[in-house]
Structure 1
């Protein structure tokens, strides 16, 4: 009876093979190398950021320097033009240089109109004013050099010095401002500034143009290139 007994068949079922990669442990020296590379990368980024900031300030400084150089170059070119030029045509014109600059009661600057590079052609001069003889369009310009040697010892009356060119006409009772510049006053202890004004205006016969500075005691003359005033018909 035992010999006739049957046993159930045994089947072994294997599951699908799994591709599990084998990751070897990272050696300590390799980890240290990775940290070192990360640290070096951060240093490179910081260096690049520093270079970018430095480049920004250099570009900004160069822009400001170019602007200042262009302004000084324009003034120097204008100075050379005035010194080298005497009118060869019959058109009216005048160029006046700095004088003692004593105020006439209303801060109007007085000028030298007969000596040096100064001249008058078909125009009149009286008490700081250029008087038009021939109607037309005129190019008017004025430069003043302002200076104070010790601003810390000064009781400042205002924070700005005003430089203006005015016109006076028989047809209107009040003076007419034509050109204006406002210069920060005593921004440094030893303070010096230049102010340059220029523009084109219509002048009729007997109309006058003149220059005023609010703090007349700050105006410096020295020579014919520091402070001047003039006009010519265009």
Structure 2
């Protein structure tokens, strides 16, 4: 070849290499993702905590509301019960308080019928007896507060106190018992003080001029002159 001739440039190209993994370039802004994820996690925890606190206060408020509603309903039910069972002005009723005994010393109790809580409404009172002026069905009740500062001797223990409601009627020669309660008195010999509440109640048919009264077998055990603990009454139903 001639000495002044130029040779073309030679480019060497490597052939493709197989089985070499491709590694993408790492971008700088990807390094900020862990920080963002942490902030998002904290925000989510705060949101969940706020929802939990709000739910707790809502539950507490609901409980208070339910309690207030229940108390209001109970009070309304009680008032309705009192109104439904309050003796009507046109119906006979009576409530006697306290307790004492007849001058003759028998077991018939005397009652206060004018003072304090006691009243008579279209019913009579005489010698410890309530007198029926209008025939009908009556709800009668009696409560006695019994007590003693000590029990009797051992040979007298386990005796019974009888609290009863009697009816006196012109149709029968003798008085008839209507309700009876037997109370075991001082069943423990080591007792230094004994007390008991005896309550009787029921519905009976009374005719005009019939009388009802209270008897107790051991009159010394009745705590007399207490209008809240011992009383006797009746009302037409």
Is TM (by shorter chain) over 0.5?
A: yes
For the 8 Å contact 1:103–1:109, the answer to whether it is kept is no
Distance in 2 separating the partners of 1:127 and 1:158: 32
> Please, which runs of 5 or more residues in structure 1 have no aligned partner?
1-76
For the 8 Å contact 2:144–2:230, the answer to whether it is kept is yes
Distance in 1 separating the partners of 2:158 and 2:210: 31
1:200-226 CA distance string (max 9 Å, x none): 000000000000000001001353121
**Is 1:91 equivalent to 2:91 in the alignment?**
yes
Q: Decide which structure has the larger Cα Rg and report it.
A: 2
Instruction: Provide the aligned length of Structure 1 versus Structure 2.
Output: 152
* Correspondence 1:214-233 to 2 at 5 A: 214-221=217-224, 223-233=226-236
For the 8 Å contact 2:97–2:118, the answer to whether it is kept is yes
**Is 1:172 equivalent to 2:172 in the alignment?**
yes
> Please, which runs of 5 or more residues in structure 2 have no aligned partner?
1-77
Determine the structure 2 residue equivalent to 1:116.
Answer: 116
Q: CA 1:86 to 1:158, structure 2 compared with 1: closer, same or farther past 3 Å?
A: same
Determine the structure 2 residue equivalent to 1:140.
Answer: 140
TM-score by length of 1: 0.60
How well do the aligned residues superpose, as a CA RMSD in angstroms? Answer: 2.3
Distance in 1 separating the partners of 2:167 and 2:142: 13
Distance in 2 separating the partners of 1:122 and 1:87: 12
Moved over 2 A (4+): 85-88, 99-106, 152-158
